[in-house]
Amino acid sequence: MKIQKLLLLAAIILAASCQKEEEVTNTSESSSIQDSKVSKEIIEKIESLNFNSEGVEKVELQLPGGEKKVSYLIEGDITLDAEQLNNMKAGDVTDKQYRTYSLVYSPRVIQVVGWTGLGSGQNLTDKQQQALENAVENYNALDLGLTFELSFTNDQSQADILIFQVPDGSVGGSAGFPTGGDPYPFVQIYSGMEQYSLEVNTHVMTHEIGHTLGLRHTDWFTRESCGRPSFGELANPTGAVHIPGTPFRLDPNSIMLSCFSTSEDGEFGEYDVVALEYLY
């Protein structure tokens, strides 16, 4: 999710950010790769899963330790590789607030690691670490079957979710969806977030963790929070199923909106809580 307003239960696949009140243009979210062209087959697969296919990018996800993975950046802050796309089914995408059928097994304890490797440009800053602590507190304060335990270390061996910085000056972050009952294992936070408040950083952390649990952008089909018109749909909504207790209209207070503003408070909206407690 880049700098823009994110609505909550927009199931998994944290967003291209633009601010609600003050638009911010995001630069590249990942390293460039030699062949950046996205094939027609990949675009068709993305559309078949009911994702918004506008602006899909082929990117290189560089993990702490040097490993690189070619992935596709969808809706601005959702990263999925070819294997994950192939393993998802057309029925895997639902809800409004939105989610995927790919959820995390519950009840369980989820180990969250904030990366602090010595001499690494991917270390979380002090502000990012505090924002991550706040985000974990957001989730642990809910009545969920999931409990989150947070540590800051350069040991990622026990991490269910590893959260690290990308030092490229962009704003926002990116993550992916659960696989096999486990949360998506990586959250990238872009170094340009350092210029924003602790509350905005907490919002982005909370939003991206939401994706790892299977939450999509609430306005994934129109991206209204990013300044799109509220009429007409930019993506196929087939298969979208409403989560009981959440509104059918745009929820401006959701933490899972595609874009976020500089006035975010880092807290869940009312219906974010309803959606999460319904799912977990």
pLDDT in tens, 74-118: 777 777 778 777 777 655 544 445 445 578 999 999 999 999 986
- Residues with Cβ < 8 Å from 97, sequence gap 6 or more? 7, 8, 9, 10, 11, 215, 218, 243, 246, 251, 254, 256, 271, 272, 274, 275
Nearest-CA neighbor of 7 among 133, 127, 131, 95? 95
| Predicted local distance difference test score (pLDDT) of residue 135 | 98
Question: 73 is written with which tokens?
Answer: 């950046």
Tens digits of per-residue pLDDT, 157-170?
Answer: 999 999 999 988 88
- Of the chain, the percentage scoring pLDDT greater than 70 comes to 74
pTM score, whole prediction:
0.73
| Predicted local distance difference test score (pLDDT) of residue 72 | 83
- Of the chain, the percentage scoring pLDDT greater than 90 comes to 41
**Average pLDDT value for the chain:** 78
